[in-house]
Chains A and B, each alone.
Chain A
């Protein structure tokens, strides 16, 4: 069975601070995909990134960056110079052979002005 653990339930930072959201996953599949989604206060889930298990290159998109390490089964997400608009719940998820997307419990990020 696949599992995603987001150990940080809530994080509070002050604007302009850097913040890293942790994600640890478990799977027996050799091929799998990892995702991050953002759920702002409005409620909808917004896709941020997808990474396959054979691509361990880090990725940067503006103030967002992702660090995938198979050796530690982690797929961490860093926001640089956080802004109030980054306040949201962030979900890490995994899909494998079954195609099902399994979500972690989410990390609530609050960015204070």
Chain B
């Protein structure tokens, strides 16, 4: 079975440019999560969706970040405009079932570098 798929795996962009990260969750999973990992802050939850509906976006750093889930098999995280401090690894994860007790399966991550 395919796991969580993320693209691109690596992204290098210049400050001010728009960046779009993509995620395809595991088929049948009804929850999707976006995380950011940095050395300074560790793993942070940015936003999560349940049945394609955003449930909690309190972790989104600021208005430059937005996320969508137009259907059960696709989600995007967009940063516009990007800044050097956005450089991090962004993970997408999905899970099945009740939110708090379900293990989340992570994608391989997108390493974003903003110069």
Contact = CB atoms under 8 A, between A and B. Distances in A.
Interface of A: 31-33, 35, 37, 42-47, 50, 52, 91, 95-106
Contact of A43 (B33, B89, B103): B89
Contact of B101 (A37, A45, A95, A105): A95
Nearest to A37: B106
Interface residues on B, range: 20 to 34
- The B interface is mostly helix, strand or loop, or mixed, namely strand
A106 B40 CA distance: 12
A43 B90 CA distance: 11
Nearest to A49: B103
5 contacts: A46-B106, A95-B100, A99-B55, A99-B98, A100-B45
Contacts of B106: 37, 44-47
A98 B43 CA distance: 17
Contacts of A44: 106-109
A103 B42 contact: yes
A97 B107 contact: no
Contacts of A42: 108
A98 B99 CA distance: 8
